[in-house]
Structure 1
Amino acid sequence: MRTRFQLWAENKKNELEEEAIKMEYVKHKNPDESRIPNPSTGVIYESENCLGQVTVWKSRQMEYEVVNIDTGEMILWKYIERLPDEPDFNEILEQFFHVLQTGIKP
Protein backbone atom coordinates (compact mmCIF):
# COMPACT_ATOMS: atom_id res chain seq x y z
CA MET A 1 0.00 0.00 0.00
CA ARG A 2 2.87 2.35 0.80
CA THR A 3 4.32 1.72 -2.65
CA ARG A 4 0.99 2.54 -4.31
CA PHE A 5 0.79 5.76 -2.35
CA GLN A 6 4.37 6.68 -3.22
CA LEU A 7 3.72 6.06 -6.94
CA TRP A 8 0.54 8.13 -6.76
CA ALA A 9 2.38 10.97 -4.98
CA GLU A 10 5.13 10.98 -7.62
CA ASN A 11 2.57 11.06 -10.44
CA LYS A 12 0.65 13.87 -8.72
CA LYS A 13 3.72 16.03 -8.03
CA ASN A 14 3.75 18.03 -11.29
CA GLU A 15 0.02 18.71 -11.13
CA LEU A 16 0.36 20.03 -7.58
CA GLU A 17 3.36 22.20 -8.46
CA GLU A 18 1.18 23.90 -11.09
CA GLU A 19 -1.21 24.73 -8.23
CA ALA A 20 1.68 26.16 -6.13
CA ILE A 21 1.87 23.17 -3.78
CA LYS A 22 5.35 21.88 -2.92
CA MET A 23 5.96 18.28 -1.92
CA GLU A 24 8.73 16.45 -0.09
CA TYR A 25 9.05 13.08 1.58
CA VAL A 26 9.37 12.75 5.33
CA LYS A 27 12.92 11.67 6.05
CA HIS A 28 13.23 9.01 8.75
CA LYS A 29 16.26 8.87 11.02
CA ASN A 30 16.38 5.07 10.88
CA PRO A 31 16.43 3.97 7.23
CA ASP A 32 16.61 0.25 8.17
CA GLU A 33 12.93 -0.63 7.83
CA SER A 34 13.52 -4.23 8.89
CA ARG A 35 13.70 -2.91 12.47
CA ILE A 36 10.37 -1.10 12.25
CA PRO A 37 7.27 -3.26 12.87
CA ASN A 38 4.92 -1.06 10.81
CA PRO A 39 6.95 1.19 8.48
CA SER A 40 5.35 4.24 6.92
CA THR A 41 5.69 6.55 3.95
CA GLY A 42 5.06 10.19 4.70
CA VAL A 43 4.75 13.19 2.43
CA ILE A 44 4.72 16.86 3.46
CA TYR A 45 2.81 19.32 1.29
CA GLU A 46 3.14 23.09 1.51
CA SER A 47 0.83 25.72 0.04
CA GLU A 48 0.90 29.48 0.53
CA ASN A 49 -1.12 29.32 3.77
CA CYS A 50 -0.83 25.75 5.07
CA LEU A 51 1.38 22.76 5.73
CA GLY A 52 -0.04 19.29 5.35
CA GLN A 53 1.24 15.80 5.95
CA VAL A 54 -0.04 12.46 4.70
CA THR A 55 1.25 9.19 6.18
CA VAL A 56 0.48 5.69 4.93
CA TRP A 57 1.60 2.65 6.93
CA LYS A 58 2.38 -0.84 5.73
CA SER A 59 -0.66 -1.99 7.74
CA ARG A 60 -2.86 0.11 5.36
CA GLN A 61 -3.61 2.78 7.92
CA MET A 62 -3.57 6.39 6.78
CA GLU A 63 -3.48 9.70 8.57
CA TYR A 64 -3.48 13.23 7.27
CA GLU A 65 -3.47 16.69 8.76
CA VAL A 66 -3.37 20.32 7.69
CA VAL A 67 -1.98 23.16 9.82
CA ASN A 68 -2.28 26.91 9.20
CA ILE A 69 1.26 28.28 8.79
CA ASP A 70 0.53 31.67 10.40
CA THR A 71 -1.43 30.52 13.44
CA GLY A 72 -0.17 26.96 13.93
CA GLU A 73 -3.81 25.86 14.25
CA MET A 74 -4.66 22.35 13.07
CA ILE A 75 -7.56 22.85 10.68
CA LEU A 76 -7.96 19.27 9.48
CA TRP A 77 -7.05 15.85 10.87
CA LYS A 78 -8.27 12.47 9.73
CA TYR A 79 -7.31 8.88 10.49
CA ILE A 80 -8.32 5.93 8.31
CA GLU A 81 -7.90 2.59 10.02
CA ARG A 82 -7.78 0.51 6.84
CA LEU A 83 -7.51 1.69 3.26
CA PRO A 84 -9.52 -0.25 0.67
CA ASP A 85 -7.82 -2.85 -1.53
CA GLU A 86 -7.88 -0.44 -4.49
CA PRO A 87 -7.66 3.02 -2.93
CA ASP A 88 -8.42 6.10 -5.01
CA PHE A 89 -6.01 8.56 -3.41
CA ASN A 90 -7.44 11.44 -5.47
CA GLU A 91 -10.84 10.83 -3.91
CA ILE A 92 -9.54 10.01 -0.41
CA LEU A 93 -7.40 13.17 -0.30
CA GLU A 94 -9.82 15.54 -2.06
CA GLN A 95 -10.77 17.31 1.19
CA PHE A 96 -7.13 17.39 2.31
CA PHE A 97 -6.00 19.28 -0.81
CA HIS A 98 -9.02 21.60 -0.71
CA VAL A 99 -8.24 22.61 2.89
CA LEU A 100 -4.50 22.81 2.13
CA GLN A 101 -5.16 25.31 -0.68
CA THR A 102 -7.92 27.39 0.91
CA GLY A 103 -6.86 27.32 4.56
CA ILE A 104 -10.55 27.00 5.48
CA LYS A 105 -11.77 24.44 8.00
CA PRO A 106 -14.24 21.96 6.51
Structure 2
Amino acid sequence: MVRDKFKYWVEKSKGELENSLITTEFIKYKTLDESLIPDPSTGIIHESKNCFGQVIVWESGQMEYEVLNIRTEEMILWRYFEKVPDEPDFDNILAEYFFVLQSGLKP
Protein backbone atom coordinates (compact mmCIF):
# COMPACT_ATOMS: atom_id res chain seq x y z
CA MET A 1 0.00 0.00 0.00
CA VAL A 2 2.67 2.54 1.04
CA ARG A 3 4.85 1.29 -1.81
CA ASP A 4 2.10 2.05 -4.34
CA LYS A 5 1.73 5.55 -2.91
CA PHE A 6 5.51 6.00 -3.12
CA LYS A 7 5.59 4.87 -6.78
CA TYR A 8 2.77 7.30 -7.59
CA TRP A 9 4.59 10.13 -5.78
CA VAL A 10 7.84 9.38 -7.66
CA GLU A 11 6.11 9.50 -11.05
CA LYS A 12 4.28 12.70 -10.11
CA SER A 13 7.48 14.39 -8.84
CA LYS A 14 9.85 13.45 -11.68
CA GLY A 15 9.20 16.55 -13.80
CA GLU A 16 9.60 18.97 -10.92
CA LEU A 17 12.83 17.29 -9.87
CA GLU A 18 14.19 17.43 -13.42
CA ASN A 19 13.50 21.19 -13.39
CA SER A 20 15.69 21.31 -10.26
CA LEU A 21 18.40 19.34 -12.13
CA ILE A 22 17.82 16.11 -10.20
CA THR A 23 17.52 12.89 -12.21
CA THR A 24 15.33 10.04 -10.98
CA GLU A 25 15.67 6.37 -11.84
CA PHE A 26 13.90 3.34 -10.40
CA ILE A 27 16.20 0.61 -9.09
CA LYS A 28 15.78 -2.48 -11.22
CA TYR A 29 15.81 -5.68 -9.18
CA LYS A 30 16.80 -9.02 -10.70
CA THR A 31 13.94 -10.95 -9.05
CA LEU A 32 10.85 -10.44 -11.17
CA ASP A 33 8.51 -12.55 -9.02
CA GLU A 34 7.79 -10.41 -5.95
CA SER A 35 5.83 -13.28 -4.38
CA LEU A 36 9.20 -14.89 -3.62
CA ILE A 37 10.27 -11.90 -1.51
CA PRO A 38 8.92 -11.67 2.07
CA ASP A 39 8.97 -7.85 2.17
CA PRO A 40 9.39 -6.44 -1.37
CA SER A 41 10.64 -2.91 -1.86
CA THR A 42 10.64 -0.08 -4.35
CA GLY A 43 13.81 1.93 -4.69
CA ILE A 44 14.87 5.01 -6.57
CA ILE A 45 18.20 6.66 -7.25
CA HIS A 46 18.60 10.41 -7.58
CA GLU A 47 21.57 12.31 -8.91
CA SER A 48 22.23 16.02 -8.58
CA LYS A 49 25.28 18.11 -9.38
CA ASN A 50 26.74 17.39 -5.93
CA CYS A 51 25.33 14.08 -4.72
CA PHE A 52 23.86 10.66 -5.31
CA GLY A 53 20.83 9.69 -3.28
CA GLN A 54 18.80 6.55 -2.77
CA VAL A 55 15.35 6.03 -1.27
CA ILE A 56 13.86 2.59 -0.53
CA VAL A 57 10.32 1.91 0.67
CA TRP A 58 9.29 -1.60 1.74
CA GLU A 59 5.83 -3.15 1.56
CA SER A 60 5.86 -3.30 5.38
CA GLY A 61 6.03 0.50 5.52
CA GLN A 62 9.70 0.80 6.42
CA MET A 63 11.72 3.44 4.61
CA GLU A 64 15.38 4.32 4.32
CA TYR A 65 17.29 7.01 2.50
CA GLU A 66 20.90 8.03 2.09
CA VAL A 67 22.91 10.70 0.32
CA LEU A 68 26.54 10.43 -0.81
CA ASN A 69 28.79 13.30 -1.85
CA ILE A 70 29.94 12.64 -5.44
CA ARG A 71 33.41 14.15 -4.98
CA THR A 72 34.36 12.60 -1.65
CA GLU A 73 32.09 9.51 -1.72
CA GLU A 74 31.29 10.30 1.92
CA MET A 75 27.84 9.40 3.23
CA ILE A 76 26.48 12.73 4.41
CA LEU A 77 22.95 11.67 5.31
CA TRP A 78 21.24 8.43 6.33
CA ARG A 79 17.78 8.01 7.83
CA TYR A 80 15.64 4.99 8.62
CA PHE A 81 11.92 4.98 9.43
CA GLU A 82 10.42 1.91 11.10
CA LYS A 83 6.94 2.78 9.86
CA VAL A 84 5.87 5.44 7.36
CA PRO A 85 2.30 6.68 7.96
CA ASP A 86 -0.43 5.00 5.92
CA GLU A 87 -1.11 8.40 4.30
CA PRO A 88 2.50 9.59 3.82
CA ASP A 89 3.47 13.12 2.82
CA PHE A 90 6.63 12.26 0.91
CA ASP A 91 7.35 15.93 0.15
CA ASN A 92 7.60 16.55 3.88
CA ILE A 93 9.30 13.25 4.78
CA LEU A 94 11.99 13.77 2.13
CA ALA A 95 12.52 17.54 2.56
CA GLU A 96 15.84 17.09 4.39
CA TYR A 97 16.93 14.45 1.85
CA PHE A 98 16.37 16.80 -1.10
CA PHE A 99 18.03 19.74 0.67
CA VAL A 100 21.18 17.67 1.27
CA LEU A 101 21.00 16.11 -2.22
CA GLN A 102 21.02 19.56 -3.85
CA SER A 103 23.37 21.40 -1.51
CA GLY A 104 25.88 18.66 -0.75
CA LEU A 105 25.95 19.89 2.84
CA LYS A 106 25.53 17.77 5.96
CA PRO A 107 22.36 18.60 7.87
- Same structural fold, with TM-score higher than 0.5 when normalized by the shorter chain: yes
Matches within 5 A, 1:1-106: 1-106=2-107
In structure 1, distance between residues paired with 2:28 and 2:71:
24
Give the secondary structure class of the aligned counterpart of 1:12.
helix
Listed as ranges, the gaps of 5+ residues in structure 1 are none
Question: Counterpart of 1:101 in structure 2: which amino acid?
Answer: Q
Percent identity, aligned pairs only, is: 59
For residues 8-53 of structure 1, the C-alpha deviation after alignment (integer angstroms, 9 at most, x for no partner) is 0000000000000000000101111010000000000000010000
Whole-Å separation in 2 of the counterparts to 1:32 and 1:101: 35
AA in 2 matched with 1:20: L
| Large movers: runs of 4+ above 4 Å | none
Task: Give, in whole Å, the separation in 1 of the partners of 2:86 and 2:5.
Answer: 11
Tell me how many residue pairs correspond in the alignment. 106
Please, what is the CA RMSD of the aligned residues?
A: 0.4
- Supply the distance in 1 between the matched residues of 2:55 and 2:77 (Cα, whole angstroms): 11
Distance 2:91 2:45 in 1: 16
TM-score (norm 2): 0.98
Match for 1:60: what amino acid? G
* Structure 1 residue 90 displacement after superposition: 0.2
Unaligned segments of structure 2, at least 5 residues? none
